[in-house]
Structure 1
Amino acid sequence: MAVEGKDRTREMEAGAQLLSGQLGKTVQRLRKAYNLSLSELAEQSGVAKSIISQIERNETNPTLATIWRLSQALDVSIERVLASGDDEPFIEKSSRADTPILVSDDGRMRLAIIGWIKTVEWLQWYDIQADPGAVLESEAHQRGSIECLSVIEGEFTVEVAGVLQFARAGESLRYRCDRPHTVRCTSDGPARAVMVCILKAAVMD
């Protein structure tokens, strides 16, 4: 990819920091609203008391599985646990100029990062535009990760461990991306798709 690994690392760290900063306040507010002690929430959620304490003090970046357990114990949705404000409406707009673009090594496939930076550690999604013959080769992601490629226009072919499958407009491909995989534009004209990557951190025990 044209974007250096360090840039992606900084992006993920920034997203984790933003998420952690608001998550701790939300968990503490909900816990106190239910008059629960740290020990009681730990018992009900199965999350260690020390971990909950670290989350509330913004000293750790919890996995989605941990957030899910806490949301179940607090009887709220994950969306509310991750909400940016108390009960205020939330709407956020990103301009085209603010949307990062990744480019394949051959320069013929462009991936606009349209996903939310606060979820980048477990959920990423991209708007893909590709020229005929474009190839995107990717290394293996974390074990258990899954990608979904939904074709909007044209045709794409995905290869994983020697297995090939193609999809046309209106079709989707879901595949393990925890091993090297390749996405190709195999249509005669320009093609477009949306790619969603569900990383290992999103898998709940």
Structure 2
Amino acid sequence: MATTADTPEPAVSALCRRIRELRSERDWTLEQLSRASGVSRSMLSQIERNQANPTLAVALRIAQAFGLTIGELMGEAATGSTLEVIRAADNRHNYRSDETCSIRTLSPLHLEKDVEFYEVRLAPRGTLDSAAHFRGTREFLTVTRGKVRVRSGNDASELETGDSVNYPADVPHSIENTGRGEAVLFLVVIYR
């Protein structure tokens, strides 16, 4: 039986369903997936509703946003090693990079969004300002080089190399480099 535009192929329907499920598992909005993949919000909405058949290039960008291969996006079991290596040169893991702040994701991009692990580098006087995350979210920070001031709500603390702090991240919070050189931090975000 021939497939028409009104009768999508089973593989396309499965792909559309899988994208919707992955986004839901990660608690991402369509806008968040759009930013991560470079695919327009309206196109993603059409794909999830099985009203558009994504091209290979679009499917690849969506898969990469989730940290998956095309085969994994289609639901095929991953084969090979159980080790997941994140290479320093892999630009897909650069979350932010500008003159004052760079953030690199150290946790696999396809993990459930309950724990995230980052390397943060702040130039002198650089600041990472964050809006409140979901209720119950906490951040754990370790300074591996430099000096920073951490603020969470109305509380603040100065930290130096080797110091660690954990704090509520469900309120506005910030990390400011107060030293003369680059500050390097490891940041773990835990969502409840």
Q: TM-score range by the shorter chain?
A: 0.5 to 0.7
Instruction: Name 2:122's counterpart in structure 1.
Output: 130
Mean Cα deviation higher: 191-200 or 111-120: 111-120
Q: CA offset at residue 156 of structure 1?
A: 1.3
Q: Which region of structure 1 is more displaced relative to structure 2, 175-184 or 88-97?
A: 88-97
| Equivalent residue runs for 1:58-77 within 5 Å | none
Percentage of pairs with the same residue = 25
Amino acid corresponding to residue 102 of structure 2 in structure 1 = R
Task: Describe the SS at the equivalent of 1:117.
Answer: coil
1:121 to 113, 127, 143: 113
In structure 1, distance between residues paired with 2:63 and 2:116: 12
Q: Residue 15 and residue 93 in structure 1: after superposition, are their counterparts in 2 closer, same or farther (change >3 A)?
A: closer
Counterpart for residue 173 of structure 1: 165
Q: Which amino acid aligns with 1:171?
A: D
Work out whether residues 15 and 120 of structure 1, in 8 Å CA contact, stay in contact via their aligned partners in 2: no
CA positional deviation for 1:96: 2.6
Give the match's secondary structure for 2:110. helix
Equivalent residue of 1:103, what SS?
strand
Conservation of the 8 A alpha-carbon contact between 2:65 and 2:109: no
Contact kept? 2:147, 2:159, Cα under 8 Å: yes
CA distance in 2, matches of 1:189, 1:13: 33
In structure 2, the CA distance between the partners of 1:114 and 1:143, relative to structure 1 (3 Å rule), is: same
Paired with 1:151 and 1:103, the residues of 2 have a C-alpha distance of 19
**SS at the partner of 2:35?**
helix
Unaligned runs of 5+ in 1: 26-83, 201-205
Residue in structure 1 matching 2:152, options 137, 146, 160: 160
The structure whose residues are more often helix, as a share, is: 1
CA-based RMSD: 3.2
Does the 8 Å CA contact 2:144/2:185 hold for their aligned counterparts?
A: yes
2 CA distance for matches of 1:136 and 1:11?
Answer: 28
Match of 1:14 in 2: 66
- Residues 154, 102 of structure 1: alpha-carbon distance in 2 compared, 3 angstrom cutoff: same
Equivalent residue runs for 1:16-165 within 5 Å: 21=75, 90-99=82-91, 100-103=93-96, 107-165=99-157
Shift of the alpha carbon at 1:107? Answer: 3.5
Distance 1:182 1:118 in 2: 26
How many corresponding residue pairs? 134
Deviating beyond 2 angstroms after TM superposition, the runs of 4 or more aligned structure 1 residues are 4-16, 92-97
What is the alpha-carbon distance in structure 2 between the residues aligned to residue 8 and residue 89 of structure 1? 26
Taking structure 2 as the reference length, the TM-score comes to 0.58
* Amino acid corresponding to residue 148 of structure 1 in structure 2: F
CA-to-aligned-CA distance 1:5-55 (integer Å, 9 cap, x gap): 442486897269x69x58xx8xxxxxxxxxxxxxxxxxxxxxxxxxxxxxx
How far apart are residue 121 of structure 1 and its match? 0.9
1:184 aligns with 2:184: no
Shift of 1:155: 1.0
Structure 1 partner of 2:3: none
